[in-house]
Amino acid sequence: NIENDLSTYSSFLDDMKTMLEEADDKTLILIDEFGSGTEPTAGGAIAEAILSEMDRRGVYGVITTHYTNLKLYASGSDTGVINGAMQFDAAKIQPLFKLDIGMPGNSFAFELARKMGLPESIVKDAENRAGEEFVGMERNLRKIVRNRRALDEKLQRIKNTDKTLESITERYQKELEGIKQTKKEILEQAKKEAQEIVQGANKTIENTIRTIKESQADKEKTTDARRELQNFMTSLQLKKESERKNHDDYIEKKLKQLEDRKIRKGARKGKPQNEAQEESPETFRSGVLKVGEKVRVKVNGMAGEVIRVSNKSVTVAIGNITSKMPLDRVERISSNEYKASIRETIKPRSTQDDS
Q: What is the CATH number of the domain that holds 76?
A: 3.40.50.300
CA pair distance 148, 102, nearest whole angstrom: 10
The domain containing residue 312 runs over which residues? Answer: 285-344
Q: Going residue by residue through the chain, which has 355 residues, state the pLDDT in tens, using 9 for 90 and above.
A: 555 545 788 888 999 999 999 999 999 999 998 988 888 889 999 999 999 999 999 999 999 998 888 988 888 778 899 988 888 777 777 888 888 888 787 777 887 888 888 999 998 898 888 777 666 666 666 677 677 778 888 988 998 888 888 888 888 888 888 888 887 887 787 777 777 776 776 676 677 667 666 655 556 666 666 666 666 666 666 666 666 666 666 666 666 666 666 666 555 555 444 444 444 555 566 678 889 899 988 887 888 899 999 888 999 988 777 888 998 888 999 888 888 877 765 554 444 444 3
Does 103 map to a domain?
yes
Domain boundary among 131, 152, 168: 131
Does 23 map to a domain?
yes
Does 112 map to a domain?
yes
Domain boundary among 94, 116, 131: 131
**DSSP-based helix, strand, coil % in the chain, nearest 5:** 60, 15, 25
Does 198 map to a domain?
no
Domain boundary among 112, 131, 150: 131
Which CATH number belongs to the domain containing residue 340 in this structure?
A: 2.30.30.30
DSSP symbols for 14-26 = HHHHHHHHH--TT
> Do you know the residue count of the chain?
355
Does 77 map to a domain?
yes
Does 70 map to a domain?
yes
The answer to whether the CB of 309 falls within 8 A of the CB of 290 is: yes
Does 203 map to a domain?
no
The answer to whether the CB of 302 falls within 8 A of the CB of 331 is: no
Domain count, the chain: 2
DSSP-derived letter for residue 212 is H
Q: How far apart are the first and last CA of the chain?
A: 129
